[in-house]
Amino acid sequence: MEITIPLKDMTFDYRDEFDRKSIAEKVIKLLDSEIDFCPMAIDGGWGTGKTEFCHKLINLIKEQDAQRRKAAQEAAGNASQAVTDTAEITSQSTLPPERAVIYLNAFASETVDDPLLCILAAIRAEFPDENTKREICQKAVPVVKTLCKVAGKAMFAHAFKQDLEDVSEAVAEAASDGVNSLIDQTVDKLLDQYADAQKNLDALKAVIATATAQRPILFFIDELDRCRPDFALSILELVKHVFDIPGIKFMFVANLEQLKAAIRKRYGQDVDADVYLEKFINLSIIIPPVHNRTNINASYLLLKKEFSGVGIFDNDESIYSEFILHLILKYSINLRGIKKLIQNIKIYASLNNNYTLNKRFSPGYNITFLLSIFIYTFNDKLRNKYILEDVGTDIFDFLGKSEDDTLGCLLAVLGSLIYHAEGFSSEKVDCSPKQKEEIKNIVNYLCRNDYGMNYSSFRKILLRTIQTMNFLPVYR
């Protein structure tokens, strides 16, 4: 049994089935560059493994930082043996500053309902010096108070260095109430609040900048796309307008398409979400849904790795591999989805005495079993029909077609075997005349007598598997 480790401890050495370490190494080069490319974003669709990649990247950064410091210490130690104590002190002073790497799950932090507090608390925790912690806290209090005032809508915008639009709104409201005598007071009060907020904000940024000069920070904010639109966009705005501080580099981990949807939801469908997002993200690194070198689908590779001991996916050009890869691509199954498929295969195994995939079993059984679990996992409509033993022509639509002759024939034959059951014949398979021989070979391959498979077996396997997964009496 494979030993699992916590996600936060995940490294590329532990597993890197999609060859993403090389991507991480390039990201680190950008982070270490004298040119500041931040804020950056790790972008990818849901279920492409962004969070795991993020933790692996963080641990690789920590590993490389430790190696650099160790090398610098050894160089300083060697130098101290050959030169005076003064030179030794000089050498020690050239050691690179120890860098802090912060990970924040924005979605989990939504309960706090104040992204400013979340970010400040994470930064403050990285400094062991109590004086620094105390000073950050003291400078943060008036900023947080200002931003949290009930009547602070205008103040909130001012604190983020935006325009004075809300001042005019407040004036208009006062005038509309016929309280003209309060206009001057309203303006004076708002301007005083703005000046105080700006002063407090500058003081806070100065304290953090002093601290990060001694301990730079790489700040990763994950799961931004899963947050409420207002919370997610508040984080983006805070990073740009409040935490644009030397010594801090931010990296967002999110599905940027979902962030764009959040932008349109907040500001209207007519807003150019791409242009808006460019204000907050300088560079995005896309996590590909395929192996970084071979371009083989990442979801298929995960499935192959999980069942490497079974033997049916050993050859990427085998009928098993071609069949499941066809379904994965047809239905755009991401890594999160394939993990659900793997989990359901394991659930079935637990319910059915570990009788699942096996190279010693009939090819017809293995392929039909894979199809059954795939339908159960990803297609509620067909799953519910098959629970009621209602098998119709929609199985052909689900399987689809392929331009590859062998795979195309397999899909056509498998659909016909499930639909027609004991009434199947090769003549009922929808194919061109030139494929007749291929159809015959596929039928013989799937229905080999030494495995006890016959024409009616395929529908039975499909229904039995799905009903077992639903804890129903098994179809016989």
DSSP per position, 237-249: HHHHHT---TTEE
Q: Does any domain span residue 76?
A: yes
Tokens in use for 465?
Answer: 């598997």
Tell whether omega for the bond before 363 is within 30 degrees of 0, i.e. cis: no
102 shares its domain with 227: yes
With CA atoms as reference, report the closest residue to 119 among 270, 294, 278, 252: 252
**Res. 158 pLDDT band, cuts 50 70 90:** very low
Q: Does any domain span residue 264?
A: yes
CATH number at residue 274: 3.40.50.300
Question: Going by C-beta distance under 8 Å and a sequence separation of 6 or more, which residues neighbour residue 407?
Answer: 319, 322, 323, 326
Q: Is 335 exposed, middle or buried (0-12, 13-18, 19+ CB in 10 A)?
A: buried
Tokens in use for 97?
Answer: 């500053």
Long-range contacts from 65-71, C-beta under 8 angstroms, 24+ separation: 65/96, 65/98, 65/99, 68/96, 69/95, 69/96, 69/98
Q: Does any domain span residue 474?
A: no
Q: Does any domain span residue 201?
A: yes
Instruction: Quote the CA–CA distance of 125 and 133 in Å, as a whole number.
Output: 7
Which residue among 279, 294, 309 closes a domain?
A: 294
| Residue 469 near residue 348 (C-beta atoms within 8 A) | yes
Question: Tell me, what's the pLDDT at 151?
Answer: 34
120 shares its domain with 131: no
Termini Cα distance of the chain: 34
Encode 216-240: b = buried (16+ Cβ within 10 Å), e = exposed: bbbbbbbbbbbbebebbbbbbbbbb
303 shares its domain with 290: no
Considering only residues 343 and 71, tell me which one the structure prediction assigns the higher pLDDT.
343
Please tell me the total count of domains within the chain: 3
325 shares its domain with 380: yes
Which residue among 239, 269, 294 closes a domain?
A: 294
Q: Is 218 helix (H, G, I), strand (E, B) or coil?
A: strand
270 shares its domain with 391: no
304 shares its domain with 444: yes
Query: CA-based angle 222:228:234, to the nearest 5?
Result: 75
137 shares its domain with 250: no
Say which range, 288-297, 319-328, 343-352, 382-391, has the weakest mean pLDDT: 288-297
Instruction: Quote the CA–CA distance of 171 and 83 in Å, as a whole number.
Output: 71
Say which range, 16-20, 41-45, 101-105, 151-155, has the weakest mean pLDDT: 151-155
Q: Is 353 helix (H, G, I), strand (E, B) or coil?
A: coil
Tokens in use for 21?
Answer: 């370490």
Which residue among 192, 211, 230 closes a domain?
A: 211
Q: In what order do the strands lie in the sheet with 248-254?
A: 100-105, 217-222, 248-254, 40-43, 283-286
**Res. 254 pLDDT band, cuts 50 70 90:** very high
Q: Does any domain span residue 275?
A: yes
Q: How many CB atoms lie within 10 A of CB 427?
A: 8
Q: Does any domain span residue 322?
A: yes
Q: Does any domain span residue 476?
A: no
Predicted confidence (pLDDT) at residue 154 exceeds the cutoff of 80:
no
267 shares its domain with 306: no
What is the pTM (predicted TM-score) of this model? 0.65
DSSP per position, 443-454: HHHHT-GGGT--
Predicted confidence (pLDDT) at residue 150 exceeds the cutoff of 70:
no
**Res. 188 pLDDT band, cuts 50 70 90:** low
Instruction: Quote the CA–CA distance of 171 and 188 in Å, as a whole number.
Output: 11
Question: Tell me, what's the pLDDT at 84?
Answer: 53
**Res. 162 pLDDT band, cuts 50 70 90:** very low
Boundaries of domain holding 133: 127-211
411 shares its domain with 434: yes
Question: Tell me, what's the pLDDT at 395?
Answer: 95
Instruction: Quote the CA–CA distance of 113 and 127 in Å, as a whole number.
Output: 24
Q: Is 387 helix (H, G, I), strand (E, B) or coil?
A: helix
190 shares its domain with 241: no
180 shares its domain with 316: no
Q: Does any domain span residue 457?
A: yes
465 shares its domain with 455: yes
